Structure 1
Amino acid sequence: MKRISALTVFLLSFLCLQVSAQESIIGDINYGQLEKYIQAAKENYPKRKILKAQEEAIKTGIPIAQISYLDMFSASYFYRPGDKQAISGPGQTNNPYIVNGIQYGISFNLGAFLQKPFLVKRAKADYKVAKLQTEDYDYALVNEVKKKILYLYSDFKRTEN
Structure 2
Amino acid sequence: MSKIYTLVIVLLLTVVAAPNSAIAQNSIIPEISEPYLEKLIATAKANYPRVKSLDERLNIAKNNVSRQRLSYLDALTFSYVYQPNTTLNLNALQPGNTDGSAIGNNNRTSIFSGTQFGLFFNLGSYLQKPFAVKQSKRELNIANNDVQEYMLTLTTLVKKRYYTYLQRLASLKLQTQASTDAESVMKDVKYRFEKGEVTVESYNQARISVTQQTQAKITAETDLFTAKADLEELVGEKLEDIR
Shorter chain as normaliser: what TM range? 0.7 to 0.9
CA–CA separation in structure 2 for the residues paired with 1:134 and 1:27: 33
Whether 2:127 is the aligned partner of 1:114: answer yes
- Could you tell me the percent identity over the aligned residues? 34
Alignment TM-score, normalising by the size of structure 2: 0.52
Q: Give the length in aligned residue pairs.
A: 139
Name 1:81's counterpart in structure 2.
Answer: 84
1:156: Cα distance to partner? 1.6
Name 1:69's counterpart in structure 2.
Answer: 72
Instruction: Name whichever structure is richer in helix by fraction.
Output: 2
Name 2:144's counterpart in structure 1.
Answer: 131
CA–CA separation in structure 2 for the residues paired with 1:86 and 1:24: 105
Amino acid at match of 1:39: A
Contact persistence 2:85–2:109 (CA under 8 A): no
Could you list the structure 1 runs, at least 4 aligned residues long, displaced by more than 4 angstroms after superposition: 85-98
Amino acid at match of 1:126: E
Contact persistence 1:85–1:95 (CA under 8 A): no
Contact persistence 1:86–1:95 (CA under 8 A): no
Amino acid at match of 1:63: S
Contact persistence 2:68–2:136 (CA under 8 A): yes
Alignment TM-score, normalising by the size of structure 1: 0.76
Gaps of 5+ in 2: 1-25, 175-243
1:85: Cα distance to partner? 4.6
CA–CA separation in structure 1 for the residues paired with 2:29 and 2:75: 62
CA–CA separation in structure 2 for the residues paired with 1:27 and 1:113: 65
**Deviations, residues 5-57 of structure 1 (Å, cap 9, x unaligned):** xxxxxxxxxxxxxxxxxx66445411001000001111110111111111111
Gaps of 5+ in 1: 1-22
